[in-house]
Structure 1
Amino acid sequence: MPTLDPRIDAYIAKSAEFAQPILEHLRAVVHAACPDVEETMKWSFPHFQYNGMLCSMASFKAHCAFGFWKGELLVAEADANIQEAMGQFGRITTIKDLPSKKTLESYIKKAMKLNDDGVKAPARAKPATPRELVVPEYLAAALAQQQPALDHFNAFSTSKKRDYVEWMEEARTEATRLRRLEQAVEWIAEGKARNWKYGKC
Structure 2
Amino acid sequence: MKKTAPEDVGVPASQLIDRAIGALTDWRGQTLARMRALIHEADPDVVEEWKWGKPVWSHDGLICTGEVYKAHVKTTFAHGAAIADPKGLFNSSLDGNVRRAIDFPEGAEIDAAAFKALFQAAVARNVAAKSKKA
Smaller-chain TM-score bracket: 0.7 to 0.9
Counterpart residue number, 1:12: 21
- CA–CA distance in 2 between the matches of 1:103 and 1:87? 15
SS of aligned partner of 1:27: helix
How many pairs align?
A: 114
Equivalent residues in 2 for 1:82-161 (5 A)? Answer: 82=93, 87-96=100-109, 98=110, 100-118=111-129
The structure that is helix-richer by fraction is: 1
Of 76, 80, 92, 1:81 maps to 92
1:48 aligns with 2:57: yes
RMSD: 2.7
Q: Give the partner amino acid of 1:92.
A: P
SS of aligned partner of 2:30: helix
Find the structure with the greater CA-based Rg.
1
- CA–CA distance in 2 between the matches of 1:70 and 1:54? 7
- CA–CA distance in 2 between the matches of 1:94 and 1:24? 14
Are the counterparts in 1 of residues 90 and 100 from structure 2 also a CA contact under 8 Å? no
- Runs of 4+ with deviation above 4 angstroms: 76-80
| Change beyond 3 A, Cα 1:63–1:80 | closer
- CA–CA distance in 2 between the matches of 1:79 and 1:114? 17
The structure that is strand-richer by fraction is: 2
- In structure 1, the gaps of 5 or more residues are 120-201
Q: Give 1:56 shift.
A: 1.2
Give the TM-score, by structure 2 length. Answer: 0.73
Are the counterparts in 2 of residues 39 and 47 from structure 1 also a CA contact under 8 Å? yes
CA displacement, residues 158-201 of structure 1 (integer Å, 9 cap, x when unaligned):
xxxxxxxxxxxxxxxxxxxxxxxxxxxxxxxxxxxxxxxxxxxx
Identity of aligned residues (%): 21
Counterpart residue number, 1:21: 30
Are the counterparts in 1 of residues 50 and 56 from structure 2 also a CA contact under 8 Å? yes
Q: Give 1:67 shift.
A: 2.1
